[in-house]
Structure 1
Amino acid sequence: MSDVSLIDRLLDVIEHDIVPKTAAGVARGNKLFGAAILRKDDRSLVVAETNNEIENPLWHGEMHCLKRFYEMPRVERVDTKEAIFLSTHEPCSLCLSAITWAGFDNFYYLFSHEDSRDSFAIPHDLKILKEVFTLDPGGYNAENAYWKSYSLRRLARALPAPDRERLETRIGDISARYDELSQTYQSGKAGNDIPLA
C-alpha cells in the first residue's frame, strides 16, 4: 500500500518549492522541469531547483538540483542513501545516470516521458532513449541494483477511493499549472540558446 502522507508531502514540495522556481525559470526561457532532495527521516526539504539550460544545456532540473546540492556545505547535506529524490518529470537518460552516480537509491516523479512528449511538446527524452539506447518508452529498468523509481500518479491510482480521488484532484490542479508553464515556455523558446529546445 502506498504511503499517502509521503505522496502529499512530495506534491507539497512540487507545488510550493519547485513550481515557484520553475515559473521564474520559464520566464527566463528555461524548460519546466524541476527536482528536489528531501530527508527520508523527517521529509524535510534539503534543496529544490529547476531547469537552468539557458546557463548550461546540462542543467536539467535534476542536474541543476544536484549541482546546488553539492555546492552546499557538507554539514548541510544528507547522505544520498538517506534522501528522497523527487523529479517533476520522469528523468531523461542524463539525469537517470546522474541520480545513479550520486548514490540515490530511489526517485519519485509526477509526469512521465510520454507526458513530456505529448502534453509538454518536449519529445527529446524518448527520442534519445530510442536513438542512442534503442529503448522503447518505458524500456529502462525502473527497479534495479542502484535504485527503484516511483510514479506518483501510479501510487495515487493504487489507493482506496477517498485518498485516490483527493490526490488525483491535487495532481490535476498541479498539471493545470504545468500546462500554463508549458504554454509560456513554448511561446517564448524561439531564439533561446538551448540546443534541444
Structure 2
Amino acid sequence: MTNPALARRLLDVIEHDVLPLTRAGVAAGNKVFGAAILRKADLSLIIAATNREMENPLWHGEISCLNAFYAETPGPTEDLIFLSTHEPCTMCMSAITWAGFDNYAYLFSHEDSRDGFSIPHDLRIMEELYGLPPGGYRRRNAFFTARSIAEISGSDPALADRRATITAEYAALSKAYQRGKAANAIPLN
C-alpha cells in the first residue's frame, strides 16, 4: 500500500536530519549510512544518527541510532518507525528486531549499496552466511515488515524527483568516502 504523506515525511527526515549528520560523518572517514526513529502517531522525529565506524566498526548508522535512542528516553518500539537510509545489513536487521521494532523503511536497497555506492558487503555476507541471493530475505516476516521508500511513495512524480535529488547528494558523499577509505581502519571498507 502506498502512502505519499509518509514517504514525504521520511524523505524530509533523511534530507534535513540524517543527511547533515552524514556529511560530517563522511568528512571524518565514516560510510554514508544513517538512520532515524519517528513516532507512528504523528511522524515526529525522536532521534537521527549516522555511521560512526571510525570509532567502532559495529556502529553502523542503525546501531548508532539505536544507541542514541536507548541513551535518551526510549519508549515502546511498537509505536515507532525505524528509518534507514540504506537497507540494513544482517547485523542491523537483527538489532532492529532485538530492539522490538516491527518495521523499518529504507531509501537505498542492498543492490544500490553494492552498485551505486561500491559497498557490496551486505549482499556478500547474506550470500556467504545464509546462501541468500540479492534481495533474498523475507521483507515481511514474523518480526518486521521492511519497505522501501519507493514502494511507499508509489508513482508520485514529485516524490520520485525528491528521491533523485537526495540520491545525488548521497552519490557525492559516496565519492568522497571512496576517495578517503584507504586511509581509515574500518574492516570491510
TM-score, length-scaled by structure 1: 0.94
Q: 1:124 aligns with which of 107, 121, 124?
A: 121
Instruction: Output aligned runs, 1:13-28, within 5 Å.
Output: 13-28=13-28
Q: Which residue of 2 aligns with 1:177?
A: 169
Instruction: Output aligned runs, 1:82-161, within 5 Å.
Output: 82-156=79-153, 158-159=154-155
Deviations 1:109-165 (A, max 9, x none): 000000000000000000000011111111111001111011111222x33xxxx11
Distance 2:152 2:6 in 1: 10
Q: Secondary structure, in 3 states, of the residue corresponding to 1:189? A: helix
TM-score, length-scaled by structure 2: 0.98
Deviations 1:56-109 (A, max 9, x none): 00000001100111111xxx3331000000000000000010010000000000
Query: How many angstroms does 1:3 deviate by?
Result: 1.4
Structure 2: 5+ residue stretches without partners: none
Distance 1:46 1:170 in 2: 23
- Flag as ranges the 4+ runs of structure 1 deviating above 6 A: none
Q: Which residue of 2 aligns with 1:32?
A: 32
Aligned pairs, how many?
A: 189
Give the residue type in structure 2 aligned to 1:12. D
Query: How many angstroms does 1:178 deviate by?
Result: 0.3
